[in-house]
């Protein structure tokens, strides 16, 4: 039980994690879109 309590203390706020994941997803999607556009003749 102590390990679980320590693990929970180390994690950042859930809202912050969601924001970071959203930003990362948008960046990856935009990179993929740009990559596809550059491949078109």
Per-residue tokens: 21: 């994941």
CA–CA gap between residue 7 and residue 22 (Å, rounded): 23
pTM above 0.75, yes or no: no
CA–CA gap between residue 20 and residue 26 (Å, rounded): 10
pLDDT digits (tens, 9 = 90+) for 2-40: 666 666 667 778 899 999 999 999 999 998 888 877 766
For 5, the enclosing helix (H) or strand (E) is helix 2-10
Place of tokens 């935009």: 30
């Amino acid at each position: 039980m102590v390990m679980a309590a320590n693990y929970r203390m180390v994690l950042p706020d859930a809202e912050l994690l969601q924001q970071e994941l959203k930003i990362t997803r948008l960046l990856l999607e935009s990179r993929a879109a740009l990559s596809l556009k550059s491949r078109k003749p």
